[in-house]
Amino acid sequence: MCLALVSVRLFNCRFLIRVKGALNIANCRAMIIRTCSNLYVKTQLIRQRSTFSALLDESWQSGAVLKSLSTNIYENLALEDWIQEHVDLESRSLLLLWRNMPAAVIGRHQNPWQECHLGLMREKGIPLARRRSGGGAVYHDLGNINMTFFTSKKQYDRQRNLRIVTSALAELRPALDVRATERFDILLNEQFKISGSAARLGRTVAYHHCTLLCAADRSLLSGVLKSTCQGIKSNATPSVPSPVKNLADEDPTLDCEIIMDAVANRYIRDFGLNGPLILINPTEELRHPGIHRLTQELQTWDWVFGKTPKFTIDTCFDIPHEAVRSKVILNMEVKYGIIEKCRFEVPSAWLPLHMCEEFNTLLVGSRFCPSDTAALFVAVSRANPQTCDLQAKLNFLCTKLTAVM
Amino acid sequence: MQLQNSGYKKKIKNVSMVEPCPLGRHSRTTHMLKMFHLLQPGNPGPIFQFKLSDIGEGIREVTVKEWYVKEGDKVSQFDSICEVQSDKASVTITSRYDGVIRKLHYDVDSIALVGTPLVDIETEPTEGTSKDVVETPAMSHEEHTHQEIKGHKTQATPAVRRLAMENNIKLSEVVATGKDGRILKEDILNYLSKQTGAILPPTPYQEIQPPPPSAAPSAAKQKDRAPPGVSRPVSHRPVFTGKDHTEPLKGFHKAMVKTMTAALKIPHFGYCDEVDMSKLVRLRSELKDLAEARGIKLTYMPFFMKAASLGLLQYPILNASLDDGCQNITYKAAHNIGLAMDTPQGLLVPNVKNVQMLSIFDIAVELNRLLSLGTTGQLGTSDLTGGTFTVSNIGSIGGTYAKPVILPPEVSIGALGKVLPRFNSKGEVVKAHIMNVSWSADHRIIDGATMCRFSNLWKSYLENPATMVLDLK
């Protein structure tokens, strides 16, 4: 029976461990360290520290290229937020590549009613997300690549980031004419927009993200990003519509995978990195503690719609009145998604005045959203005795009103 | 309280303080010298003008998009103050100090110039402030104050350290939850609540966190803080400073008030019974997989609704409506049976149209559709109106007996409790599934006997599902 005293240095202390058995000393030491480390982690003697951050700290000092395994817009946006909050980027830069299932994404201070065709999106089941960076509205689908450049605030340089993309594309297909503009867009043949940018600056970390149209569904893109709501006046950041084109339309041999690899390689070269591509699953709470909460927050009505700056809506619609063509006039003031002022004018012959007044008062303070309004109408119609005729009129009014929302 | 600082600045009204540039361009000592100037003596605390710092890329002006604070709010260091936007870049400006906001220099949508004051913050007027200022140049990091305790560097801001000192707490004993192991104010409060067993005042700074919290989450937070009543020797007895929170009733809730007030004008009577669900449970378990194969989740509700519809064929007065003057009864032909649904907005009652014509599977399909619309908040008027009879499955959440309120213009409603086990004659618990049902009906037109017979019929269908098959339309 072999007995040995193995000296192990762990946690800034030296341990002398007596070991029995015919073991190789080196293996023995390695095994002890492994066991102790596992024990350490399990008993949580380590302060709460994300394993992903730790991984980066240990291995890839100067930076890395990351790729998200998720195609859920909320999970990916939450990942961006999480990286910004938790990863130390003082001396490091990261590039995150991600793609999503069809979704519309508006900028931090935009008005979704003004930017998107919400009815079409509801019909097709296309979700709406509001990102934390500024800028305009975009449409994502699997034919669109998103790239996020994370740096410290000192290293924040959008033109440099765009140069990486344009040079990668130039290397891949020298015949392609892609150029970055002053407005941080990338134009194809100086005419068609293939990429738009937005950025977010936090306390110490900044990120700049941009899209890149490879093979997106252009008809759905223009359908979704068209507003159907007439009569909105607001100071929200407007989108600047531009003619777009897919890279694959210009060169059918290109696809998203090829382009993502090219950009990643160029990034690695330009930043002098040595690590491979890291795949990230944004649903892993253990590796990214707190990311689940971030994902949930991005999906709440209060964030997506409730962050809309104040706007007014003035519109009118015809009603089927017996003899004369009549109109219903609608004026509303909506702030942070809540109706602050409401004026509903209906010909008194068509609908009793007191009912009109009742709706006016009830709508004030409720959310500017079709389901809330429908619930309101139903509740009122229950509270007031109904004839069939009146019921039909109320339904009609409600339908017209919710169409605006 | 005067600060001695080598006569660098003349004392001028509203003199501004140039806070340390985040890019560290200026030397630390000149900064400290330019630091804290007071307004007139005798003020409660020094007011600092927090300037809009350089954002980078040579940007000179930004648009203020949203304020997270208003005048009079308390802020802690690193709390968000506002959002500004410049050329597609969105920036969150965070506070450098603890204190109270005294003035906002810009309105929403106005253009702010870099280097000009953004807000005025009044900090706490303690002796310690000046000492901290003099000490900081010696520290290596402008943002944190490091403290060497037992060989570990404990990161905490001066405000947090002061709070710990006042409460005689060792920072090394506090569990840190901040980034990089930084100790936050919340950590000290949590530590205190565990030690003293007292309810501590909720963090006053909750108010300014965007989006503004409703009463419920802050109440929940308070509950989490208060530990079970174990008393220990305390050094402090913190005073509970929680305030009542009043807000006006808005939108949907106001409408509910109207509906329920109208509903309770109806003279209600209640009738309760038990249903032995054992056979139905077996039936459903047999059919569940088949329904799954067709892509539909089969619950008990389709059975309840269909049985109700069959009952209504025999007792149509329960599917009627009374007009306003109580002059006429309208016997509704369609059985549009409503389902009380708990959605994020509140209680909504969508209904399945024409249950009298639908099979159990059809009803299940409809219910799946309504449920998914309900959870995503997309129920429309057509789904929510036109109901003639309602069933509420409150038992899925909990409860046995209920006194449901009739939803006008209907005249009856049922509430289903949860399924419970049963004792047999030997006193043993047998595997029976007993569900309690509570009916309410409009006593102006429905009498107890009618309700009772309807309920018996409904009950018999569910206790012997085979009989239901016979009468299914």
State percent of chain B over pLDDT 90: 13
Q: Confidence class of residue B333 from pLDDT cuts 50, 70 and 90? A: very high
**How far is the C-alpha of B18 from the C-alpha of B32, rounded, in Å?**
9
Which chain B positions have a beta carbon within 8 Å of A371's beta carbon? 345, 377-380
Give the minimum alpha-carbon distance from B470 to chain A in angstroms, rounded to a whole number.
Answer: 35
Contact status, residue B185 vs residue B159, Cβ threshold 8 Å: yes
Nearest by CB to B92, from A202, A372, A402: name it.
A202
Nearest by CB to B377, from A371, A383, A385: name it.
A371
**How far is the C-alpha of B335 from the C-alpha of B353, rounded, in Å?**
7
- State the average pLDDT for chain B: 74
Looking at A279, A304, A329, the residue that finishes a domain is A304
Give the minimum alpha-carbon distance from A133 to chain B in angstroms, rounded to a whole number.
Answer: 5
* Cβ <8 Å between B88 and A157: no
* Residue numbers of B between 76 and 95 with CB closer than 8 Å to A: 78, 83, 85-92, 94
CATH number at residue A398: 3.30.390.50
* Cβ <8 Å between A402 and B94: no
Please tell me if residue A366 touches chain B, with a CB cutoff of 8 Å. Answer: yes
Mutate to test the interface with A, among B80, B90, B94, B140 (most CBs of A within 10 A): B90
* Cβ <8 Å between B181 and A86: no
Residue A231: give the domain boundaries: 52-304
Contact status, residue A294 vs residue A81, Cβ threshold 8 Å: yes
Which chain A positions have a beta carbon within 8 Å of B66's beta carbon? 109, 307, 309
Which chain A positions have a beta carbon within 8 Å of B94's beta carbon? 203
**pLDDT at residue B218 above 50?**
no
Looking at A284, A304, A324, the residue that finishes a domain is A304
Between residues B275 and A26, which one has the greater pLDDT? B275
Our measurement of the distance from residue A311's CA atom to the centroid of its chain's CA atoms, rounded to an integer in Å, reads 23
Which position has the token pair 């014509």? B357
CATH number at residue A189: 3.30.930.10
Cβ neighbours of residue B227 closer than 8 Å, sequence gap 6 or more:
B193, B194, B197
**How far is the C-alpha of B270 from the C-alpha of B441, rounded, in Å?**
7
Contact status, residue A214 vs residue A144, Cβ threshold 8 Å: yes
Residues A135 and A93 reside in one and the same domain: yes
Contact status, residue B121 vs residue B95, Cβ threshold 8 Å: yes
Which position has the token pair 């591509």? A277
Which of A2-6, A84-88, A89-93, B325-329 shows the lowest per-residue confidence on average (mean pLDDT)? A2-6
Over residues B106-112, the mean pLDDT reads 86
- What is Dmax (Cα atoms) for chain A? 109
Residues A179 and A322 reside in one and the same domain: no
Count the helices and strands in chain B (H runs, E runs): 12, 21
Quote the pLDDT of residue B141: 36
Q: Taking the CB of residue A293, how many other CB atoms lie within 10 A of it?
A: 12
Residues A7 and A56 reside in one and the same domain: no
Residues A86 and A114 reside in one and the same domain: yes
Evaluate the CA torsion angle A38, A42, A46, A52 in order and state its sign: positive
Peptide linkage before A238 cis (omega within 30 of 0): no
Which chain B positions have a beta carbon within 8 Å of A135's beta carbon? 88, 90
**How far is the C-alpha of A28 from the C-alpha of A34, rounded, in Å?**
10
Contact status, residue A343 vs residue A327, Cβ threshold 8 Å: no
Distances (CA, A) of B290 to A310, B278, B365, B369, B465: 51, 20, 13, 18, 17
Contact status, residue B348 vs residue A375, Cβ threshold 8 Å: yes
State percent of chain B over pLDDT 70: 74
Write down the domain spans for chain B. 47-122, 157-194, 269-471
* Residue numbers of B between 104 and 133 with CB closer than 8 Å to A: 108-109
Evaluate the CA torsion angle A329, A367, A375, B359 in order and state its sign: positive
**How far is the C-alpha of A113 from the C-alpha of A119, rounded, in Å?**
10
Please tell me if residue A325 touches chain B, with a CB cutoff of 8 Å. Answer: no
- State the average pLDDT for chain A: 83
Please tell me if residue A44 touches chain B, with a CB cutoff of 8 Å. Answer: no
Q: pLDDT by residue (tens digit) across B229-274?
A: 455 665 678 788 788 888 877 777 777 788 888 888 888 888 888 8
Element (H, E) at A302: helix A301-304
Overall fold of domain B47-122: OB fold (Dihydrolipoamide Acetyltransferase, E2P) (2.40.50)
* Cβ <8 Å between B251 and A237: no
Distances (CA, A) of A6 to A16, A19, B237: 6, 7, 53
**How far is the C-alpha of A188 from the C-alpha of A170, rounded, in Å?**
12
Contact status, residue B280 vs residue B301, Cβ threshold 8 Å: no
- CB burial of B390-408 (b: ≥16 within 10 Å; e: otherwise) equals bbbbbbeeeebebebbbbb
* Cβ <8 Å between B181 and A136: no
Q: pLDDT by residue (tens digit) across A79-128?
A: 999 998 888 888 888 999 999 999 999 999 899 998 999 888 888 889 99
Q: Does domain B157-194 have CATH number 4.10.320.10?
A: yes
* Residue numbers of A between 211 and 240 with CB closer than 8 Å to B: 235, 237
Angle, CA B32 vertex, CA B29 and CA B38 arms, to 5°: 155
Q: pLDDT by residue (tens digit) across B352-400?
A: 999 999 999 999 999 999 988 888 777 877 888 888 999 988 777 777 7
Q: What are the φ/ψ torsions at residue B90 (nearest 5 degrees)? A: -105, 130
State percent of chain A over pLDDT 70: 84
DSSP 8-class letter at A237: P
Looking at A49, A72, A87, the residue that finishes a domain is A49
Over residues B163-182, the mean pLDDT reads 74
**How far is the C-alpha of B435 from the C-alpha of B438, rounded, in Å?**
10
Residues A141 and A183 reside in one and the same domain: yes
Nearest by CB to A378, from B179, B180, B384: name it.
B384
Structural domains counted in chain A: 3
Nearest by CB to B88, from A184, A301, A379: name it.
A184
Which chain A positions have a beta carbon within 8 Å of B23's beta carbon? 153-154
Angle, CA A74 vertex, CA A71 and CA A78 arms, to 5°: 110
CATH class, B269-471 region: alpha beta
User: Could you check whether B47-122 and B157-194 share the same CATH topology?
Assistant: no
Catalytic residue list of B: 443, 447
Q: pLDDT by residue (tens digit) across A118-154?
A: 888 888 889 999 999 988 899 999 999 999 999 988 8
Which chain A positions have a beta carbon within 8 Å of B254's beta carbon? 361-362, 365
Please tell me if residue A306 touches chain B, with a CB cutoff of 8 Å. Answer: yes
Q: Confidence class of residue B216 from pLDDT cuts 50, 70 and 90? A: very low
Residues A290 and A347 reside in one and the same domain: no
Quote the pLDDT of residue B131: 37
ipTM: 0.71
Distances (CA, A) of A186 to A190, A192, A208, A222, B288: 9, 8, 14, 19, 54
| Rg of chain A, C-alpha, whole Å | 28
Helices (H), A16-117: 25-42, 51-59, 73-86, 112-115
**How far is the C-alpha of A90 from the C-alpha of A93, rounded, in Å?**
8
- CB burial of B416-444 (b: ≥16 within 10 Å; e: otherwise) equals bbebeeeeeeeeeeeeebbbbbbbbbbee
Which chain B positions have a beta carbon within 8 Å of A312's beta carbon? none
| Beta strand ranges found along B158-306 (DSSP E) | 182-183, 268-276
Evaluate the CA torsion angle A40, A41, A44, A47 in order and state its sign: positive
Count CA atoms within 13 Å of residue A173 on its CB side.
Answer: 17
* Cβ <8 Å between A375 and B348: yes
Nearest by CB to A376, from B78, B89, B252: name it.
B252
Please tell me if residue B56 touches chain A, with a CB cutoff of 8 Å. Answer: yes
Quote the pLDDT of residue B134: 33
Which of A310-314, B65-69, B87-91 shows the lowest per-residue confidence on average (mean pLDDT)? B87-91
Evaluate the CA torsion angle B137, B141, B145, B146 in order and state its sign: negative
Which position has the token pair 């005795």? A385
Evaluate the CA torsion angle B33, B34, B35, B39 in order and state its sign: positive
First vs last Cα of chain B: how many Å apart? Answer: 89
Element (H, E) at B308: helix B301-314
Please tell me if residue A209 touches chain B, with a CB cutoff of 8 Å. Answer: no
Please tell me if residue A133 touches chain B, with a CB cutoff of 8 Å. Answer: yes
Quote the pLDDT of residue B75: 86
Quote the pLDDT of residue B51: 83
Over residues A330-355, the mean pLDDT reads 84
